[in-house]
Chain A
Amino acid sequence: MIATLLAAALTATPGTAPETASAATPALPRSLADAVVLQAAEVHVGDGTVYKPGVVIVQDGRIVAVGAGLPIPAGGQVIDCGAAFLTPGLVDAACQLGTNALFGSAEQGSEVIPQLDTGDVLDYFSLEFEQLAADGVTTVFVTGEASAVISAKGVAVKTAGPIAERRLAPTKPCVKATLGAETSGRGAFNRSPSRFGGGPSYAIRRPTTRMGSAWVFRKALHDSIAFRDAGRASSDGLDPAAMRALGDVLSGATSLRMQVREALDFDTSVRLADEFGLQFVFEYATEAAQRLDVIAARKIPVIFGPVRQSDSTFESFESATPALETPKLLAEHGIVFCLTASDGSGDGGLARQTGLAIRFGLDRAKALRAVTVDAAAIAGLDQRVGRLAPGLDADLVVWNGKPFDDASKPVLVLISGRPVVDVQGRFRKENP
């Protein structure tokens, strides 16, 4: 439908003004006179297709056409990006920024909170979103935080633009479970009083070991099955709403992520998933290089990263070490994966993580794919974002050099067709 509309609309070529169109021309559903046309030396669609040079036509916040040598609709505003590179806006599928729910202010009432929604604590005014937009990250999936074994639902959000338009609905809601030491580690920030030793304790109901994390997960699912099949209440006092939410995870109506860092937690995840017949995505997956075969054999999608010199406070609960070539190895094993910067931005942000993956052997086209097409698909957002294709949101990044190069940065970022970063004032010049 969009394609035919476009074919008709594009019959106006440069130099043929629309006002000369004869009365015999069938009335177009929509004129492209108010379209924005971006031209750049290289247009990278995200799936590996590159147009040199290329054109992207944007209207009403959506992409209407992408290609090489497209006829320029008469009346459209042309933004000539010259020698620059144009890519889709980047997508971080496991972001930990932009909410005040993280780290220490999380729900402390229960280890199992899939009925809660991270969207309720989004801070749209957070400067972190501004930084993400400046980094070229236009969509983030803010994942549930890791102090609960089964955390709140994540939320997908654009990093700039009118607040009413920022949230996106993924194809399925998504709940994250965290295995390993992080849950008890973060829980320790809500320590028992020092006169009782100050450590994570039975009194504050945290699992204090890896075994404890796995048990909390297992027990919650058993309780949810009993609730679903027999209406039985949880002996742990699990909220019926939580058990209903887990019922959706069991039925597959809600997708599941497993946050793992150390190799052994990959194995535990697989075991738990087998016990309950669950499909899931690995998040962070720090030591994925140690479990390539099992990930590939089971076709488990991976959200990998971040790779940092020193771990953030989040990661410091584990002693996992990422192999620097992990993205390359994931690609070689045919594993569907994307990259995340987690709570990093700027020099620790997604573009730099992608650059690091390229440095350590990941093909450039695959690297771009990992932070656009595949990130959107893994987050269930590919019907809206992640590639330059007609009908998708006009989230674009124009780079002043090769994308992800250390010497390049985004100079123009569009979200739903609106310039949210415009370092060189291209839109200002065009729109005085």
Chain B
Amino acid sequence: MVLSSHLASALLAAVAALGDSAAIRGGTIVNPDGTRIDKGVVVIQGGKITAVGGPETAIPPDAVVHEADGKIVFPGMVLAHTQISLDVANENVPVAPFVNVYDAIEPNSAEFEDCLRGAIGTVHVIQGHNTVIGGLSRIVRPAGDMVDYMTVRPDYALKLSITPRGGFNRMTQMAELRAAFANLANHIESVAERRFEEEKKKKDEKVLILPEEAVKQGMALVTIDDLDARWRTLWRASKGEIPLFVHCDRAMDVMHGIEWLKELKLLEKSVFVVGTEAFKAVEALKTAGRPVILSGVLVHKESDPLTGKVTETFVPKVFADAGVPFVLQPNGFGFSADGMLWYQAARCVREGIARDVALKAVTQAAADSIGMGDTLGSLAVGKWGNVAILSGDPLDQATFVDRMLIEGRLAYERANDRRLKELSTGQDLPPAAATAPASSSKN
């Protein structure tokens, strides 16, 4: 669904003028690790948090103050892996590191509005799993009317899939992955040889060495400008300059993936995006020590081929019990139960996972997985001012996002959320109802 976003202008302004100060006062500050500050104050200056404390905390005189009495103040959640706003999640070409979600993100997607309604302040948009090597991803704010203004990290990561894409088998998939990197190596060698020859020619020298030696010596001469767009991304990825989001649906894919990534010396740059059955490889993932993003489906169902007996496993519990940090994704997207990110965390608590682990899976662990753990994921001095002002506990189903600040600027207000009102009541509202002034005050 495409809507013209009335939230866009607020964020455009936010990006243009991050020098402003803001403060959230009077609410209970709740951090994912369980710490709480009653009647707390969060001060944000230039988009970053400069103070978190009790009621005595000084508020700069120029700050826009958001009163939060009776509310819960919680860090903006992080959606670490999603295809929202992309009209088609997968490129048809199996090896396509040259495509970029930059060209496909729809800023007016209703799903970005749903992010704000669901306390999500940061979104990593990456292409789908049905690929061998997919395109470049982008980390964005879920508000704004141009991708450029929404962007937090451009060209952030690359999608790889160890699990075969639709209609292919595992051997073919691995062969194509290996071939992609082998082709890259061949291409770089030919470029190196050419560059070596060019350098010699410039100096009017003759090439008096064997091609193998020319390649070796030419390697140092190759720069990104010597490559066309088809090769640039993969080359950077092969050098460990781009994080890899590696899709492993099954446990066996995790094992093969780890092995292959080690060969490429890229394991340290990898994030595992796993399917439900991958819980069986939890020890290998623990040893790998890389972030794990779980599927939105949290229950693994398996039926015994002989007896037909169905076994169900609540996947996050396996990771929690093994002490492996994990990141949650919604299942689908939107207002219904498991389409909400916080609902997934609530489910974890329901199934016996510690509350702080569940909350981190939608905040700190999610931020870590996109390389922004120092910037996002909790309310702490130095981090970005992405703050959700909630009507209640983050895991209570009756809780709504009252206001959402992104980098200190108001990006969402429930009081002015016309679409939510229409969805709630089934009544069409006149457009005028959407543009009431924000309820914040100057200190």
List residues of chain A with CB under 8 Å of any chain B CB.
127, 287, 289-290, 307-310, 321-326, 329, 346-348, 352, 355-356, 358-361, 400-401, 404-409
Contact = CB atoms under 8 A, between A and B. Distances in A.
B397 interface: yes
Interface residues of B, number: 27
Given A309-B336, A352-B337, A405-B396, A325 B425 contact: yes
B350 A347 contact: no
A324 B339 contact: no
Given A287-B426, A323-B425, A324-B423, A406 B347 contact: yes
Nearest to B331: A347
A289 B425 contact: yes
A134 to B, nearest CB: 9
Given A347-B338, A355-B397, A408 B423 contact: no
Contacts of B260: none
Contacts of A321: 426
Given A310-B332, A352-B337, A359 B426 contact: no
A308 B334 CA distance: 10
Contacts of B350: 400-401, 406-409
A406 B333 contact: no
Contacts of B331: 347
Interface string B303-333: 0000000100000000000000000000111
Nearest to A353: B337
A309 B425 contact: no
B426 A407 contact: no
A356 B53 CA distance: 34
A358 B423 CA distance: 15
Contacts of B349: 407
Given A347-B337, A406-B346, A407-B349, A309 B426 contact: no
Interface string B236-268: 000000000000000000000000000000000
Given A405-B397, A406-B397, A309 B335 contact: yes
Nearest to A399: B350
B336 A307 contact: yes
Contacts of B299: 346
Nearest to A358: B398
18 contacts: A127-B310, A289-B426, A290-B426, A307-B336, A309-B332, A309-B336, A324-B424, A325-B425, A329-B425, A352-B337, A355-B397, A356-B336, A359-B397, A360-B424, A405-B346, A406-B350, A407-B395, A408-B350
B343 interface: yes
Contacts of B427: 289, 323
A132 to B, nearest CB: 14
A51 to B, nearest CB: 23
Contacts of A326: 426
Contacts of A308: 336
Given A406-B395, A407-B346, A407-B349, A348 B424 contact: no
A310 B337 CA distance: 12
Interface of B: 299, 310, 331-339, 343, 346-347, 349-351, 395-398, 400, 423-427
A346 B335 CA distance: 17
Given A347-B338, A407-B350, 9 more contacts: A127-B310, A324-B423, A325-B425, A348-B337, A355-B397, A356-B337, A401-B350, A407-B346, A409-B351
Nearest to A287: B426
B94 to A, nearest CB: 28
A288 to B, nearest CB: 9
A289 B343 CA distance: 26
Contacts of B425: 289, 323, 325, 329
Nearest to A400: B350
Given A290-B426, A358-B397, A406 B343 contact: yes
A39 B310 CA distance: 33
A381 to B, nearest CB: 27
B424 A309 contact: no
Contacts of B351: 409
A241 B332 CA distance: 46
Nearest to A288: B426
Contacts of A290: 426
A297 B424 CA distance: 23
A95 to B, nearest CB: 18
Contact of B339 (A287, A309, A360, A405): A309
Contacts of A310: 332
A309 B296 CA distance: 14
B119 to A, nearest CB: 14
Nearest to B339: A309
A238 B190 CA distance: 81
A290 B426 CA distance: 7
A371 to B, nearest CB: 15
Contacts of B346: 405-407
Contacts of B332: 309-310
Nearest to A361: B424
Contacts of B400: 359
Most buried by A among B333, B337, B339: B337
A355 B426 contact: no
Contacts of B423: 323-324
Contacts of B396: 405-407
Contacts of B335: 309, 324
A314 to B, nearest CB: 16
A325 B350 CA distance: 25
Contacts of B424: 323-325, 360-361
Contacts of A405: 346, 396-397
Nearest to A329: B425
Given A127-B310, A359-B398, A323 B338 contact: no
Contacts of B337: 347-348, 352, 355-356, 406
A39 B161 CA distance: 52
B356 to A, nearest CB: 13
A408 B400 CA distance: 19
